[in-house]
Chain A
Amino acid sequence: MEQNNSLPPFPQSLSSPQGAMTPGMPIFSPMMPYGTGLTPQPVQNTNSLSLLEEQQMQQQQQQQQQASQQQGGIVGTSGQTPQLYHSQAVSTTTVLPGNTPLYTTTPLTPMTPITPATPASESSGIVPQLQNIVSTVNLGCKLDLKTIALRARNAEYNPKRFAAVIMRIREPRTTALIFSSGKMVCTGAKSEEQSRLAARKYARVVQKLGFPAKFLDFKIQNMVGSCDVKFPIRLEGLVLTHQQFSSYEPELFPGLIYRMIKPRIVLLIFVSGKVVLTGAKVRGEIYEAFENIYPILKGFRKTT
């Protein structure tokens, strides 16, 4: 998933001043008729306007009012009422001398902020990195593990220890457990696509070894992610306030085990600020779980 934290590009003609987070009325907008030699002229000449033009004027006025509300009512330097110069700028039917629109987009497009600058709940800005993906696939045929272990270079098979062939490939760096029933488990990939590609490579190897392997029911079973919140965490405080979700036994394990209910993710939280998230079936669950836990952890950020 591409990280996209930048604001969406403004229409080219409008320049946004540095540091302005809320897109307001740009100061040097072509809408402001400075130096164009335009003189404010009342467009509404009730006697001469046709009905159609009257309707258009009314529409434009409504839009102007909306736009002026959104733009905070910044009025032109000449002290004109918004209505007048807006109507001048917008008018397509009434041709005023010297009024060539310097931009292509309609100026009354509401400039609503698409990514709010300071949202109500500020996102952490930290993205958990995926460390391991476990997936399973059904090769759809019975396999002779002895043959596979004999004829493949990258396989190991010790039936007394474990009833599956352990196969490894270099790219993507993964390990697979291949069972005689034809089912396979693939571990070690760092993304869903890599896991899928790796599983396909294993299936291709098995195919080349002479078995009619297929690629059925590929499913991601578990995803593990980790990240660093960059401040030490008071685990004793956290276990007191979130008792029903947390388990902290320093004699058994140095980290706190937090079982989040929605999404159903298990988090291992350590005093150094490192967090490990596991149990996800899709990437979004890991991100969601981290965004849920971050404000809680910030509350226990008792720095010395």
Chain B
Amino acid sequence: MVGPCPECGSSNVVEDDLYSQKQWVCEDCGSLVSEGVFTTTLSDEQHSRTVPYYESTETSKKPCPNLIKGLIRVRALCRILRVPGDMESGAVSLFERAYGNPAFLQVRLQKKEVLGGACILLICRQNNRPVTMGTISNLLEVELAFVGVVYQDLIKALNIEPSTATSLINMLESYCYGYKLSPGEVAEVFAETPRRLVERSTALAELAADTWLVTGRQPLPLLMACVYVAWQSLKPMGRMKVSLNKFCVIGGLGKEVCGARKDTAHKRVVELRDVLCKLGKELPWLRGDTVEPGTVAKLVDDILKHRQALHLKAMRHYEEELQLQFGDQLASSDSSAPATSKAGDKSEPDPSPQSELSPSESKLKGRSQNLSTVNTTEVGGEPPAGELHWGKRHLFLPPSVRPDKQRRVDPPVPAVTGDEEISDSEIETYIRSPEEIRKYLTVQQKLKEDGD
């Protein structure tokens, strides 16, 4: 303690630090009695080293407000999607890592907002939890394509190996639980337990996957179609007349969700019913009657029970029909085509050794005879006129293959060497005459005047 204040003589001298400088100040008159040194060591003092600002008044770096908001958003999304705790913390740490990555430091705010969703998507995929990009885009109210872009940037920036999207079947269960069809909420006719719905929809989804309806398609409309057809088939008497739109309203999804008549979900329903009709036709107790898409809901139960057998039967009948219809055409190529078609169509283990032999056999025959519907030397894959399109040989095809579509034939272009002579007359046709230029300029002038 220093002595009394020299000004007023009071002994009420207190220590009052200013910045990092110790000072003794008299409380009564406020005068400075003595002060300490700024620097800590004598050597510093002697060499008068300046103390940089960040060392003296440095505050610890606080996270930027956008990062804080982003973390809150990530946690909220995890809670909405009912993501377990460990995955939530994984998503949070991933978001922090990604936020600091140079690829995401200077992007627009919107992208940073979507980044949180993309992190959750990545974590869920790695842990095999079904979350679609469509869900994320709906929750964040952005476009699906934008979510995709951010997701792919995230994978590239953090060098993570992309994991595949979960299959349709995995998504089905959580999707079914989204429908409010418990007995208390809807009429008795429409009520359905989630478990039965999941079971039936899973079987339908597997059937759709087997018959090429799933590959390459958006999953959500397909899920909707599977659930709808399953729900109808569980109580066909009361539910057959209910349309897809009405079903969405009943299930509490809202009218706009499934969209207009021509939209994707309706198309998927049509395709699914088409497949069911093809299989339903083979049911032995129908004795060959045609099955209408409108009433196939009654038969879905039986069809799903005997799916494999019906599939085989349907394919065999189709092949026989093809033989009858196009017998001449196929006969002309010396039975090379039916051999390959048989090999191509059968996927079961029994005929598979047969399928190993016949393609090579038929290829040899095709080469020697120079005529084959399975063309060996084709440029661009055009079947010669009058031959069977390869798609017609399959009963179940991906809908994007259209055997009836006419292939565009470009006129043959003469072969060029690239160093030919270029005629002046041809080049003249691309250059305006002075007359034209004058006309063009006058018109432009007039337009400008009119515009002003």
Contact = CB atoms under 8 A, between A and B. Distances in A.
Interface of A: 3, 5, 18-19, 21, 118, 122, 125-129, 150-154, 169, 171-172, 190-197, 200-201, 204-205, 208-209, 226-236, 239-240, 243-244, 247-252, 254-255, 270-273, 302-304
B432 interface: yes
Given A129-B380, A153-B429, A232 B145 contact: no
Contact of B440 (A150, A235, A248, A250): A150
Given A201-B427, A236-B164, A304-B394, 15 more contacts: A125-B378, A128-B380, A151-B431, A152-B432, A154-B430, A190-B413, A195-B418, A226-B380, A230-B381, A236-B215, A249-B165, A251-B165, A255-B216, A304-B210, A304-B397
Interface string B144-185: 110010001000000001111101000000000000000000
B164 A239 contact: yes
**Among the interface residues A230, A233, A236, A249, which one has the most CB atoms of the partner chain B within 10 A?**
A230
B148 A251 contact: yes
Contacts of B215: 232-236, 250, 271
A118 B360 contact: yes
Given A197-B418, A252-B145, A270-B400, A126 B381 contact: yes
Given A125-B377, A232-B401, A252 B144 contact: yes
A271 B400 contact: yes
B148 A249 contact: yes
Contacts of B378: 125-127
Contacts of A197: 416, 418-420, 422
A31 to B, nearest CB: 25
Given A193-B416, A232-B394, A304-B315, A271 B216 contact: yes
Contacts of B440: 150
17 contacts: A19-B368, A125-B377, A125-B378, A127-B378, A172-B416, A193-B415, A194-B416, A197-B419, A208-B427, A226-B380, A243-B161, A247-B152, A249-B148, A250-B218, A254-B400, A271-B212, A304-B211
Contacts of B431: 151-153, 205, 208-209
A248 B162 CA distance: 10
Contacts of B419: 196-197
A80 to B, nearest CB: 33
A186 B195 CA distance: 60
B398 interface: yes
A254 B217 contact: yes
Contacts, number: 167
Nearest to B369: A19
Contact of A21 (B315, B364, B427, B437): B364
Contacts of A118: 360, 364
A193 B379 CA distance: 19
A227 B381 contact: yes
Interface residues of B, number: 68
B347 interface: yes
B386 to A, nearest CB: 17
A153 to B, nearest CB: 5
B394 A251 contact: no
A273 B390 CA distance: 11
B345 interface: yes
B219 A232 contact: no
A221 B212 CA distance: 37
B379 to A, nearest CB: 5
Nearest to A225: B380
A299 to B, nearest CB: 13
B48 interface: no
A200 to B, nearest CB: 6
B244 to A, nearest CB: 21
A154 B436 CA distance: 13
A212 to B, nearest CB: 16
B375 interface: yes
Contacts of B436: 153
Contacts of A150: 432, 437, 440-441
B133 interface: yes
Contact of A248 (B134, B165, B416): B165
B395 interface: yes
B422 A204 contact: yes
Contact of B219 (A126, A129, A240, A250): A250
A226 B400 CA distance: 16
B132 interface: yes
Contact of B133 (A127, A240, A252): A252
Nearest to B393: A303
B401 A273 contact: yes
Given A129-B379, A303-B347, A272 B400 contact: yes
Contact of A232 (B311, B397, B422): B397
B396 interface: yes
Contacts of A190: 413
B344 interface: yes
A129 B345 CA distance: 27
Nearest to A247: B162
Contacts of A251: 132-134, 144, 148, 165, 218-219
B59 interface: no
Kindly list the 5 A-B residue pairs having the minimum CB-CB distance in the complex, ordered from nearest: A196-B418, A228-B381, A193-B418, A304-B396, A254-B216
A169 B416 contact: no
Given A118-B360, A150-B437, A271-B212, A303 B164 contact: no
A303 B345 contact: yes
Contacts of B381: 126, 227-230
A175 to B, nearest CB: 13
B360 A172 contact: no
Contact of B427 (A125, A196, A204): A204
B93 interface: no
Contact of B216 (A196, A204, A243, A250): A250
